[in-house]
Amino acid sequence: MSALSWEPLTREAFAPFGDVIAVDVESGRDANQGSARRVDFLAALESSRPGARANVVAIHSLPRPLPFDVVLLERHAHSSQLFSPMRVKRYVVIVAPTLPSGGPDEAGLRAFLAAPTQAIKYRKGTWHHPLLVLDEAADFTMLVWEDGTAGDCEERRLSQRRRLA
């Protein structure tokens, strides 16, 4: 078993896997008769499945103690997936590049520590671990395009466990 450590979640570091969404009010424009700031087009949502519908989901996640063994990854080959925190302290986002064969590149596995003010959007087909919540239970809004077939979510077990400490 090899170790996996996390790094801060930044737009630049996460760019190969998707988008980090955080509010930058200075780049926004006035809305709601001046009582709000609006920042548009923070991430492109993707779907390549005819007949897929946007599914907005509430996710309640229980905390996982560290160390934690990462044993599987999943991907949504036909859809991007957005997670926006509603109530969270800290969470870890684990991703891997895709090999030419289509499977996850386990050697490129990366973990990012996300702040409560950061949402993430995985690119279509990005291999990732289910959200890993630290400290206390958390709530997220999730958006994914689904058509109800097995192709909505594919899981793969890792050839070797990776320990996140």
Statement: residue 104 has pLDDT above 90: yes
To the nearest 10°, report the CA torsion of 45, 32, 58, 70. Answer: 60
Number of helices followed by number of strands (H, E) in the chain: 1, 15
Q: Which has more pLDDT, 37 or 139? A: 139
CB 113 within 8 A of CB 92: yes
At 45, the pLDDT band (50, 70, 90 cuts) reads confident
At 47, the pLDDT band (50, 70, 90 cuts) reads confident
CATH 2.60.120.480 for domain 2-25+52-164? yes
Domain assignments of the chain as residue spans, ordered by start: 2-25+52-164
Strands 2-4 and 154-164: parallel
Statement: residue 139 has pLDDT above 80: yes
List, for residues 81-91, the tens digit of each pLDDT value. 999 999 999 99
Q: What are phi and psi of 91, to 5 degrees?
A: -145, 155
**Residue 56: which residues within 8 A CB-CB, separation 6 or more?**
141, 142, 143
CB 132 within 8 A of CB 94: yes
